[in-house]
């Protein structure tokens, strides 16, 4: 065992564990995976010696594969084992899929010491001092609190360097993890920050693989197809993507032999995914719901929606550097979107559309206008969002109150555009383009939210 994973779940098993199992040197690496709060998945995997079936759900048929890279599965409350694994000299890599909320951080990525769990963890860690033995009652509750304690024990034991790899779907996820760990470490253990600087690297990643929920019928399908009863299968689309940027001071699996990409600058790849994959999802959600569609596959099969996606991608591509394989990436996205057997519901994608469009579409529109172009593709997305809101869709939003105020204003679409981007709202030509697109999109609308 040389990898510790925090956040055992469906995605980590369809992604990082899959890449590790497919690496040329897979036999030299193994994963000790720790669940979150629940012990159910860990118990089911333990009963199967860590083995599970990955169901690769293609557009026409399923493919079944047994994944064996998880050598131990632990409940989230098995702190004693976690601390032992983090301090073990053979551990070279720690990966995380703890979701955005698991970082318990402020907007700048530093630990949120006003949060009850983080504040309590800081008290627990400070009570250990620089030399105190770790008592069984010293039980941090946050992922970062447990990780900092494990790193402090590794420092005290004279352990070698290791890499921390965030695999959560966050921009600059490695930087965010660094700020959280370094901030909590500085507040808890005076000697730890200097050791971290010399012994710990923070790797940023861009991850992508749709991993739907497993239903009872999927368990039955595995049994019928393979003759094995698997209580912990996972489903994934055929496509997968993993781009990493950072150092691995004590080594790593040869993930590149499984298709991973290692780069010096991750930002262009983050933008590629954010603008092209996520931006198109938001467009399909807003326009598709207006046209009576339920899923991404239905919406992309609609020529009107497909044309709008292509126009948006043209603008995205003009603002991305060469060398990202954009033609292949676009083809892969169309194939993924068209896979009706991976149901991606538009209603779910449409949640919190305002915050999503601020990072998925507005930056591209601003760049297009700055280059003297019309940003018509982006205008279509924004107009579809406005039309969806006025038709009763896209109302499930954390900014519900601000949206309601904009709708109640004398010019609702002007108010909505201002919420999205002050820079775009200040451009009268672009605002007029959005109004024109809104009139075109909203005029034939036959569907309203129930």
In our burial notation (b when 16+ CB lie closer than 10 A, e otherwise), range 114-126 reads eeeebeebbebbe
143: Cβ contacts below 8 Å, ≥ 6 apart: 6, 7, 96, 98, 102, 103
Query: What is the tens place of the pLDDT at every residue in 234-270?
Result: 999 999 999 999 999 999 999 999 999 999 999 999 9
Pairing of β 52-57 and β 62-67: antiparallel
Q: Is the pLDDT of residue 201 over 80?
A: yes
Range with the poorest average pLDDT among 65-79, 141-155, 320-334, 394-408:
394-408
Instruction: Compute φ and ψ for 277, nearest 5 degrees.
Output: -75, -60
C-alpha torsion sign, points 68, 69, 71, 74: negative
Q: Is the pLDDT of residue 123 over 80?
A: yes
* Tokens at 86, concatenated: 């983090």
Q: Are 277 and 208 in contact (CB under 8 A)?
A: yes
Candidates 396, 398, 394, 367; CA nearest to 383 is 394
Question: What is the distance in angstroms between the CA of the first residue and the CA of the last residue of the chain?
Answer: 52
Q: Is the pLDDT of residue 129 over 80?
A: no
Q: What is the pLDDT of residue 135?
A: 62
Q: Is the pLDDT of residue 181 over 90?
A: yes
Question: Where residue 170 falls among pLDDT bands split at 50, 70, 90?
Answer: confident
Pairing of β 200-208 and β 241-245: antiparallel
Q: Is the pLDDT of residue 444 over 70?
A: no
Q: What is the pLDDT of residue 130?
A: 62
Q: Is the pLDDT of residue 131 over 80?
A: no
Q: Is the pLDDT of residue 396 over 90?
A: no
Mean residue pLDDT of the chain comes to 94
Q: Are 234 and 55 in contact (CB under 8 A)?
A: yes
pTM metric for this prediction: 0.89
């Amino acid at each position: 065992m040389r990898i510790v994973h925090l956040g055992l779940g469906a995605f980590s098993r369809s992604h990082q564990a899959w890449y590790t199992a497919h690496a040329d040197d897979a036999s030299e690496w193994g994963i000790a995976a720790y669940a979150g709060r629940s012990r159910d998945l860990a118990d089911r995997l333990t009963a199967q010696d860590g083995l599970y079936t990955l169901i690769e759900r293609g557009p026409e048929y399923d493919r079944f594969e047994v994944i064996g890279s998880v050598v131990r599965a632990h409940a989230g409350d098995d702190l004693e084992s976690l601390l032992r694994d983090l301090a073990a000299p053979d551990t070279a890599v720690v990966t995380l899929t703890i979701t955005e909320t698991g970082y318990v951080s402020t907007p700048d990525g530093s630990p949120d010491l006003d949060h009850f769990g983080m504040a309590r963890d800081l008290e627990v860690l400070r009570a250990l001092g620089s030399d105190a033995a770790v008592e069984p009652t010293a039980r941090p509750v946050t992922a970062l609190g447990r990780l900092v304690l494990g790193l402090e024990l590794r420092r005290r034991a004279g352990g070698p360097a290791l890499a921390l790899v965030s695999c959560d779907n966050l921009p600059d996820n490695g930087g965010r993890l660094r700020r959280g760990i370094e901030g909590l470490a500085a507040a808890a253990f005076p000697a730890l920050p200097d050791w971290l600087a010399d012994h710990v690297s923070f790797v940023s990643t861009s991850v992508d693989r749709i991993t739907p929920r497993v239903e009872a019928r999927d368990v039955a399908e595995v049994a019928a197809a393979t003759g094995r009863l698997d209580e912990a299968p996972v489903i994934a689309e055929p496509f997968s993507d993993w781009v990493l940027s950072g150092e691995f001071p004590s080594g790593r699996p040869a993930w590149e032999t499984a298709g991973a990409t290692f780069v010096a600058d991750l930002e262009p790849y983050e933008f590629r995914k954010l603008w092209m994959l996520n931006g198109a999802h938001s467009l399909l959600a807003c326009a598709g719901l207006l046209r009576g569609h339920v899923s991404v596959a239905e919406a992309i099969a609609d020529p009107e929606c497909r044309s709008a996606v292509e126009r948006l991608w043209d603008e995205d591509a003009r603002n991305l550097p060469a060398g990202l394989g954009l033609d292949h990436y676009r083809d892969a996205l169309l194939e993924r979107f068209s896979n009706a057997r991976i149901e991606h519901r538009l209603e779910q994608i449409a949640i919190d559309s305002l915050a999503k469009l601020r990072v998925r579409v507005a930056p591209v529109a601003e760049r297009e206008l700055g280059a003297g172009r019309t940003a018509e593709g982006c205008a279509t997305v924004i107009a579809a969002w406005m039309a969806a809101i006025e038709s009763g869709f896209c109302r499930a939003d954390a900014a519900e109150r601000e949206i309601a105020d904009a709708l109640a204003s004398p010019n609702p679409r002007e108010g909505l555009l201002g919420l999205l981007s002050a820079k775009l709202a200040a451009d009268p030509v672009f605002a007029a383009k959005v109004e024109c697109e809104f009139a075109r999109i909203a005029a034939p609308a036959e569907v309203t939210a129930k």
